[in-house]
Chain A
Amino acid sequence: MSTEMKRRIFLKRSLAASAVGIAAGAGMLAPQQILAAWNKAAFEAKEMPNALDALLGSSDLTESGDIDVKAPDIAENGAVVPVTVSTSIADAESISIIASNNPSPLVASFILGTGAAGFASTRIKMGKTGDVVAVVKAGGKLYSAKKEVKVTIGGCGG
């Protein structure tokens, strides 16, 4: 195959790839209809209070000593930061994990169902050094606790 031919194939493919990209962009709203539960406004909010308002209906937090946020003091790789939240608050309804300095701070929200204990653990991405905030909803009130994590290499962006 000549270089000229390869070049043509390459051009064709890159054009096809960009078309797929545009299609995916246009289709971004479609999954929202299937997943009515997923709270787009909350997860795409750029500020923590806005995200909490959209997710839990309030951003009025009470600091609580009954929530334990386990995360490393220094995360060498911001792409993988293990976070464990446990709470002894009775009748906890949900546990939300927020990385306060991320472009979209709300990372995950765990809705506790039948018999679930006040415990959630996962791994999150952190763009830069900041607080990891755990928000627990119980009896219509929001309780929070936080832990600062220093990030050496960010996990957002290329």
Chain B
Amino acid sequence: MANTIKIRAKEKGGETTVKALITHPMETGARKDKKTGKMIPAHFIQEVVCKHKGNTVMTAEWSGGVSKNPYISFKFTGAAKGDELELSWVDNQGESDSKSAQIK
């Protein structure tokens, strides 16, 4: 999957706030397809990793209980404006994506 991440990072007073939106179905595997009556196979993001200068700032582990097209936000210190930030995810079917953004 490509181009599934929207990320924004803003530095203010030494603290960087990161906000990201990921396009993903986040199927729990416990839902039935209304038309066919068959179970929809589980398809959800298991891990989101955010790195700043090679340091892992945050790792999120998720179950199918996170909403469709997930939103994630967190804060960290130690970054400056203009620094690169990389966010990546991997789901239970082995798909993944990553994106870099500049801290503003």
* Chain A residues engaging chain B, CB cutoff 8 angstroms: 14, 17-18, 21, 24-25, 27-28, 30-31, 34-35, 37-39, 43-44, 79-82, 84, 99, 102-104, 106-117, 119-125, 155-158
Contact = CB atoms under 8 A, between A and B. Distances in A.
B66 A123 contact: yes
Interface residues of B, number: 45
Interface of B: 15, 28, 30-34, 36, 38-39, 41-42, 46-47, 50, 52, 55-68, 70-79, 90-94
A37 B47 contact: yes
A107 B56 CA distance: 21
Contacts of B74: 110, 112, 116-117, 119-121
Contacts of B30: 103, 156-157
Contact of B71 (A37, A44, A115, A123): A123
A53 B43 CA distance: 25
Contacts of B46: 31, 35, 38
